[in-house]
Amino acid sequence: MKPDETDKLENDISSLIGRLSSLGPLSNSGRAGILIVLLGLKRATFTDILVAVKTSKSSLSTSLSILERSGYVRTEYGFFRRGGPRTIIVITKEGEEAIIEYLNIMGKITQIAFDKNMK
């Protein structure tokens, strides 16, 4: 690979990493995982997310609080005849936009790495 090409790749990756950082709460892969789950489901119980992302209750609770403060999710509380009270987590439009941006950036970083290794 030519030095100019290497410089361009490094600049592209630095720029993309900067964009990832601008997504704030999504700089944590656990929180990104929560939004990826919700992107597909739109809404899920606390327990469903807990099982999907394989984390502790306290870690999930902390992550959901951060995501909610950022406007990426909202929490609803309901009571079901079978099973009693449930906490439902819903992804917001802002959350959808943020996780899609995150996935696009990760895809570009992956493509750059793939292209670099194929040369």
Residue by residue, pLDDT tens for the chain (119 residues) are: 555 655 666 677 777 777 777 778 888 889 999 999 999 999 999 999 999 999 999 999 999 999 999 999 999 988 777 777 888 999 999 999 999 998 988 888 888 777 777 66
67 sits in which H/E element: helix 57-69
Closest-CA residue to 85 (of 114, 47, 39):
47
DSSP state of 1: -
3-118: CATH topology: Arc Repressor Mutant, subunit A (1.10.10)
What radius of gyration, in Å, describes the C-alpha atoms of the chain?
18
Residue boundaries of the structural domains of the chain: 3-118
Whole-model pTM?
0.80
What is the C-alpha to C-alpha distance for residues 34 and 99, in angstroms, rounded to an integer? 10
Measured distance CA(98)–CA(119) in Å, rounded = 32
